[in-house]
């Protein structure tokens, strides 16, 4: 998935406003960021399936970034680091869930290339991205719901918080439409650096949104995190 992961970040901001949208989006995208770093390093590999029309990107060896056991481990490490930094247990649990949600959503959208753990060969994947109509309904529906939740949970501090937010939403939506409609023509090796730049920009945009949009007035911060809301 693509927008499904961003939807997790936007929706989780509604669930726990003390967390930065940037940190939440980073957690939800962690597996993909790690995968493209490992692809660039020659450790993980994707191939392009030539016998299908779409959803052609297949993980060949993506167990370090995209297996359930490893995502639980990465989620625990990220959540543990956040807890040591902020002493905020609920925020740490939500970050953990955001990292692990990536595996669940990719099992829904990928062809079977998702594993439970390194060393276990069985692969999983329901192939949602094989069908554009089904993707528009399921992932598009998640995206719309998450946007509504986020817009209701936050308000713009100034005009930038409106324009920059909606420009970001449009750019992400167009990138997603390009992803689900146009089959990739080259392997993920060539896409690793552009993908990392794209994810880096998207995560930076999410941190920026936390500076130009505030939590809605109805929200009151839990004890211990109210002093650092703007920084996490
Ligand atoms: Zn992924």
Output the pLDDT for position 225.
Answer: 53
pTM of the model: 0.90
Rounded to the nearest angstrom, the distance between the alpha carbon of 167 and the centre of ligand 1 is 24
Task: Evaluate whether residue 229 is within a structural domain.
Answer: no
Mean per-residue pLDDT, 91-114: 97
* Confidence grade of residue 137 (pLDDT, cut at 50, 70, 90): very high
Q: Of 175, 173, 180, which is closest to residue 194 (Cα–Cα)?
A: 175
Segments forming the whole domain that contains residue 30: 3-215
pLDDT digits (tens, 9 = 90+) for 165-188: 999 999 999 999 998 887 666 655
Rounded to the nearest angstrom, the distance between the alpha carbon of 33 and the centre of ligand 1 is 8
Rounded to the nearest angstrom, the distance between the alpha carbon of 159 and the centre of ligand 1 is 33
CB 112 within 8 A of CB 49: no
Rounded to the nearest angstrom, the distance between the alpha carbon of 222 and the centre of ligand 1 is 32
Task: Evaluate whether residue 92 is within a structural domain.
Answer: yes
Mean per-residue pLDDT, 5-19: 95
pLDDT digits (tens, 9 = 90+) for 64-78: 999 999 999 999 999
Rounded to the nearest angstrom, the distance between the alpha carbon of 1 and the centre of ligand 1 is 7
CA–CA gap between residue 158 and residue 88 (Å, rounded): 29
Measure Cα distances from 180 to 133, 193, 207 in Å.
10, 20, 26
CA–CA gap between residue 4 and residue 174 (Å, rounded): 14
Rounded to the nearest angstrom, the distance between the alpha carbon of 35 and the centre of ligand 1 is 8
Percent of the chain with pLDDT over 90: 77
pLDDT digits (tens, 9 = 90+) for 186-224: 655 667 899 999 999 999 999 999 999 999 865 555 544
Task: Evaluate whether residue 42 is within a structural domain.
Answer: yes
Output the pLDDT for position 230.
Answer: 46
CB 212 within 8 A of CB 157: yes
Residue that wins the pLDDT comparison between 230 and 149: 149
Task: Evaluate whether residue 230 is within a structural domain.
Answer: no
Rounded to the nearest angstrom, the distance between the alpha carbon of 66 and the centre of ligand 1 is 7
Rounded to the nearest angstrom, the distance between the alpha carbon of 174 and the centre of ligand 1 is 18
Provide the 3-class DSSP secondary structure of residue 42: coil
CA–CA gap between residue 210 and residue 230 (Å, rounded): 7
Rounded to the nearest angstrom, the distance between the alpha carbon of 213 and the centre of ligand 1 is 28
Task: Evaluate whether residue 220 is within a structural domain.
Answer: no
Task: Evaluate whether residue 224 is within a structural domain.
Answer: no
| Per-residue pLDDT at 56 exceeds 60 | yes
* Confidence grade of residue 135 (pLDDT, cut at 50, 70, 90): very high
Residue for token pair 């995209």: 66
Rounded to the nearest angstrom, the distance between the alpha carbon of 194 and the centre of ligand 1 is 15
Rounded to the nearest angstrom, the distance between the alpha carbon of 91 and the centre of ligand 1 is 22
pLDDT, mean over the chain: 90
Rounded to the nearest angstrom, the distance between the alpha carbon of 220 and the centre of ligand 1 is 34
Rounded to the nearest angstrom, the distance between the alpha carbon of 36 and the centre of ligand 1 is 10
Structural domains counted in the chain: 1
Mean per-residue pLDDT, 105-130: 95
Q: Of 164, 165, 202, 205, which is closest to residue 36 (Cα–Cα)?
A: 202
Rounded to the nearest angstrom, the distance between the alpha carbon of 120 and the centre of ligand 1 is 19
CA–CA gap between residue 57 and residue 9 (Å, rounded): 24
Mean per-residue pLDDT, 107-128: 95
Task: Evaluate whether residue 222 is within a structural domain.
Answer: no
Q: How many CB atoms lie within 10 A of CB 220?
A: 9
* Cα 45 off chain centre by: 20
Task: Tokens for 26, please give them.
Answer: 């980073």
Task: Evaluate whether residue 161 is within a structural domain.
Answer: yes
Output the pLDDT for position 216.
Answer: 84
Q: Of 46, 21, 51, which is closest to residue 36 (Cα–Cα)?
A: 46
Provide the 3-class DSSP secondary structure of residue 175: helix
């Amino acid at each position: 998935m693509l927008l499904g992961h961003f939807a997790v970040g936007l929706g989780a901001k509604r669930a726990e406003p003390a967390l930065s949208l940037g940190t939440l989006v980073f957690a939800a995208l962690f597996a993909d960021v790690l995968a493209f770093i490992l692809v660039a390093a020659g450790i993980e590999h994707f191939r392009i399936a030539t016998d299908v029309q779409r959803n052609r990107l297949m993980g060949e060896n993506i167990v370090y970034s995209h297996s359930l056991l490893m995502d639980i481990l990465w989620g625990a490490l990220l959540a543990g680091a956040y807890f040591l930094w902020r002493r905020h247990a609920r925020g740490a649990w939500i970050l953990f869930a955001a990292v692990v949600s990536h595996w669940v959503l990719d099992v829904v959208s990928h062809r079977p290339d998702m594993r439970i753990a390194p060393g276990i060969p069985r692969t999983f994947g329901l192939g949602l991205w094989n069908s554009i109509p089904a993707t528009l309904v399921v992932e598009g529906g998640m995206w719309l719901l998450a946007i509504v939740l986020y817009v209701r949970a936050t308000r713009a501090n100034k005009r930038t918080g409106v324009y920059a937010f909606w420009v970001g939403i449009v750019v992400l939506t167009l990138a997603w439409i390009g992803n689900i409609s146009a089959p990739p023509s080259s392997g993920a090796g060539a896409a690793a650096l552009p993908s990392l730049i794209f994810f880096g920009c998207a995560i930076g945009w999410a941190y920026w949104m936390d500076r130009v949009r505030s939590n809605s007035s109805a929200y009151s911060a839990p004890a211990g995190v109210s002093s650092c809301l703007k920084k996490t």
